[in-house]
Structure 1
């Protein structure tokens, strides 16, 4: 059995350290020395120094931390789902052919800002070993990587900050004469920011303005950079169970496609659905961007569609000097370009934007060489139309899929301007581009559909902004109330009622729900009977699905049964998937038991 000694302290009001030394006879180990300026952790041939501004190391070992969004994850690690941690060995680098090589120069000084910028924003570990490896430093490093590398990349104890179990796991791989030294550094300011954001995000998901202001004030007081704030927020949002499941599934699909070198229409439809789910759950696009960039999503979609060929043909008119510019791109051409843009966004086809970028570059080069500047002005006009479309897509999707989205006057005025701009090209173009696909989306929920239909009617009939705000906010209030009633009803049913609820029980339950609302926020106004009725009906449908249908669907992989319930129940498909995920988690089942059923359903979207 080995023993462990621990040393804990603070460098200043920002940096906290935990040092753990493990050995078979650790009680006689003298491993540190401290004066007013420097803390030394040392053993024969190895040393780490912590001073006011940074860390200096000599000897063997390395640094490791949990991967977080904001760290560029190497492709080999990204392709292995079991890899959780970043590991950097001192003196290691990659050759041009991708092979790892070591050198004997392992000493380096690293400022604390760099440690928490290049590694994890909150917690990073350093280690070295004596007694079980010998030879030149590069030989020691190669040996340590062979002994500990696989475990360090995969162990969950790094993220859990469980140094006792981490050291126990690693020490068991070393010889009985070994001494293992672990130094964990914590950034207390980043940790405080992360804890406040976690509490707010897990409570609200959409953080109220006044609460977000408190978060901003804390960041300013602690001197946390905007970049670190963003990294921490993204990491916290990714850590939310619902978000993690979506992002991990997105990654798994991209990994499979990357390894195969191609992406099918069914898989592309699944990725699009997950992006829509991300919008609903307020998952930031930044969680997906590194995956798409590292796994080369744009290279997987390599079949040039008809709309891409048409886009090339139309934009090439800007580059032909012999044509008059007003003939090069006509109004009909602009409509066709917008239709092509719609298809490209639906198919997540980045080739469209690449063609536009290439055309823009070519126009700039022509003007620089002396051509008429009107070609650039014409291209700017085209880009303006694309921006009208893209902004409208974003805002309308937020309205459709995000619960509790703010109804803001500038957004609605912007939609009015975009609608007028596109309809000047072709009457009804805005409606065709923005609403046709959305209203046929199977994942559009009941309240989201109501908001979209109101917005569509308002834009068609030229409502005032105030009228639009009133109508949309009424639906949002009903949506929020439905969500609150659903949560309260399910909790009351869980703790007080049997599975079957009589009409007498329902009346009592309604009174209990009203009393709870009064206790929570003093709400004394009676809530609409129809919303309570909808909640009760949908809860019964939910119980029926979870108790009767879902076990059969899992057992038989019954695609038709699941799809029939999704169509006829009227329940939100995203909500059904959340129920399924909770069911799988509660029964200890792997999510892959439903993946084939879900993919088949998504393939028909």
Structure 2
């Protein structure tokens, strides 16, 4: 269908930009607008939309739509459909208990810009109405528009790109040849500038260098963007990165499948745990997973049998918060230690019932205080939450140190960990080590450099307390290991590339020295790394490459052919290669050879 388009562009405020597009067979006859002071009125018979300095008012048919992003409420019906990308709101529509829509003739309303970009997309949001192909009461018009275009509007992949021309091209034919489409795009230019800057830095570095990150912080401050909107935008950019999106989508798909089945088995739980491990290494923000967990509620899908640590936690909380007023309910040191150990086990098991139990206790506490109980109930609960916050902060930093490379390990972070350790030491001498080191040092996915960093941190914190090491010395020690990790990875990448393209033999010392010289020249490490350290790292690289070739060309085919888990486990335990790296090799091997990925999943589960 041939059509005409008329476009109007302007600024509503210094941070809100608008594009108005009217499209129809005869757009110039359909296009009506008027300017009154600082307001712009777009209208057709029965419909109008007014843009002013504070927000946007609407009357008539139509609605709004935007691309889903973190912070946009996403109903379960949309979440379980992988192809649904966009949020669609029809004016005057509301949801019934069964999920169906109820339409009303009361479609007028007013939306402030802050609310539009908070509840909708942080950068682009669309409003629309139509004229010509729908008639009758407004509720009938809305239902007809939804029938004609709703399914496609929720699935268009280019909404987030802000491509108005493509939107009109795809949307107008759905509405009928007599329709005139009025499309209004609102852009928060400050959010867009922040997003574009962060996206450029993230795609270039992923782990953004300190000077660039400081520039980003200053930009947000100059633009007046609050921390929540910054977080939304950063999460959206990181989610859309090609390396991150598959992990989050797979996490969602497993949860959706469990939701539809009404249960979660051991296999699904193991896979979700592995995806969380991968997400830590990839620096995928945990808020993405929390948003999915909030909607899909995996805690309702696990076995109803309560773990022992949950029973202990329930007993403590009931004794403290769900008691008669005359009973002394002050929490003591042993209670806190028991609760912290229970929290650690809940985190290890991804057990959401623990957090649910805390929420129930908090609610009971609030209700009792509201009904006249002593406020010391709140003080008791606050003490628990304070230690849990310390636990979360410490656990996050130590896990990042263990599983990520190129982290920012600053003197301030050392000081923070040291202060946290002192708080936990007041509860028990060995509690800090038990909570944060014992379990993670037994993690199968902890790599060689991650283990070195953790051991150095554990010894270093004690050395600082004993006066044998300074904060600056601790920071330099960890940073040196981080640099060695980065240098090792750089040498490994370039060495494999040289071997793949130029070298078939590198077994003798002379061949290895020649290879090292070329790799050092390519990487620019010459003169920047001590020769002894460089040779030590390169010997490890050569061993790594030899083990990798042995596994790919000799052992892995035998593992696959005979489902030989014992042979695989022996290699993982004795090769010196990180388990995560080996599993990535296996995945690439299976994909390259077109093998059944289910077999690979079974190998990983065991």
- Shorter-chain TM-score tier: 0.7 to 0.9
Match of 1:397 among 399, 403, 411: 399
2:269 maps to which residue? 268
> Which range is displaced more, 459-468 or 67-76?
459-468
Conserved in 1, the CA contact under 8 Å of 2:27 and 2:180?
Answer: no
1:135 correspondence with 2:136: yes
Shift of 1:100: 0.8
1:83 correspondence with 2:84: yes
Conserved in 1, the CA contact under 8 Å of 2:84 and 2:155?
Answer: yes
> 2: distance between equivalents of 1:388 and 1:128?
51
Conserved in 2, the CA contact under 8 Å of 1:554 and 1:593?
Answer: no
1:464 maps to which residue? 469
Counterpart mapping for 1:494-573 below 5 A: 497=502, 507-518=513-524, 523=528, 526=531, 528-539=534-545, 566-567=572-573, 569-573=575-579
1:485 correspondence with 2:491: yes
1:16 is paired with a residue of what secondary structure?
strand
Unaligned residue ranges in structure 2 (runs of 5+): none
> 2: distance between equivalents of 1:330 and 1:111?
50
1:313 maps to which residue? 315
Shift of 1:478: 0.5
Provide closer, same or farther for how the CA distance between residues 7 and 220 of structure 1 changes in structure 2, counting only shifts above 3 A: same
Post-superposition CA distance 1:542-583 (Å, at most 9, x none): 567678888998999987776666555543344455567778
Unaligned residue ranges in structure 1 (runs of 5+): none
Higher relative contact order (CA 8 A, sep 6+): 1
1:219 maps to which residue? 220
2:10 maps to which residue? 10
Shift of 1:305: 0.9
Counterpart mapping for 1:3-42 below 5 A: 3-11=3-11, 13-23=14-24, 25-26=25-26, 29-33=29-33, 35=35, 37-42=38-43
1:445 maps to which residue? 447
> 1: distance between equivalents of 2:387 and 2:223?
43
1:93 maps to which residue? 94
Match of 1:455 among 426, 448, 457: 457
TM-score (norm 2): 0.83
2:181 is paired with a residue of what secondary structure?
strand
2:297 maps to which residue? 296
Conserved in 1, the CA contact under 8 Å of 2:520 and 2:526?
Answer: no
> 2: distance between equivalents of 1:33 and 1:375?
61
> Which range is displaced more, 214-223 or 379-388?
379-388
> 1: distance between equivalents of 2:506 and 2:181?
61
Conserved in 2, the CA contact under 8 Å of 1:400 and 1:451?
Answer: yes
Conserved in 1, the CA contact under 8 Å of 2:207 and 2:406?
Answer: yes
TM-score (norm 1): 0.83
Provide closer, same or farther for how the CA distance between residues 306 and 221 of structure 1 changes in structure 2, counting only shifts above 3 A: closer
Conserved in 2, the CA contact under 8 Å of 1:11 and 1:52?
Answer: no
Shift of 1:365: 7.6
Shift of 1:350: 3.5
Counterpart mapping for 1:338-417 below 5 A: 338-356=340-358, 386=388, 389-416=391-418
1:83 is paired with a residue of what secondary structure?
coil
How many residue pairs get matched? 595
> 1: distance between equivalents of 2:375 and 2:144?
64
1:277 correspondence with 2:275: no
1:56 maps to which residue? 57
